[in-house]
Structure formats: C-alpha cells, structure tokens
Amino acid sequence: LQRKNGLFKKVYELGVLCSVDVAVIIFEERAGHHAKLYEYCSTDIRDMVSRHMRHDGEKDAKGPSDFSG
C-alpha cells in the first residue's frame, strides 16, 4: 500500500476536476496482523455509503475483470 497516498491524491483530483463526490475504501489484511482500514472521501463517508445504498437509479459498476488484460 505504498502507493495509497498517490491513489488518494488522484481520487481527490478527480473529484475536483469533475465536480463529483468520490470515495475509496481500502482494507489491508495480512496474515498474523489485524486488518487495517484506509479511506478517502470528499464528503462524509457514512453519508456517501448511505447514498450508495439508497440509490435506485442508473448504475455503472466496474470490477477487476473490466480492467485485466
């Protein structure tokens, strides 16, 4: 997760340039260690997750298979 800060900076820039709310949640789980949570959100993270759960309009979701070779 050494690139985490770079990712968060890019997400911040995306939010500013596109005038959108953005969020990134990262769970780091390593054997023998407690899981660690990292998050960036341009607004309140709880509000963003709540908005996501209530949204029933159009949705464009992506997963790993959309970006792998």
Q: Are 15 and 21 in contact (CB under 8 A)?
A: yes
- Count of CB atoms situated within 10 Å of the CB of 11: 16
* CA pair distance 35, 58, nearest whole angstrom: 33
For 19-59, how does the pLDDT look when each residue is reduced to its tens digit (9 = 90+)?
999 999 999 988 888 999 999 999 999 999 999 999 999 99
Give the type of residue at 60: D
Give the list of residues 6+ apart from residue 9 with CB closer than 8 angstroms, or none: none
Q: For the whole prediction, is pTM greater than 0.85?
A: no
Q: Are 15 and 24 in contact (CB under 8 A)?
A: no
Q: Which domains does the chain have, with CATH numbers?
A: 4-53 (3.40.1810.10)
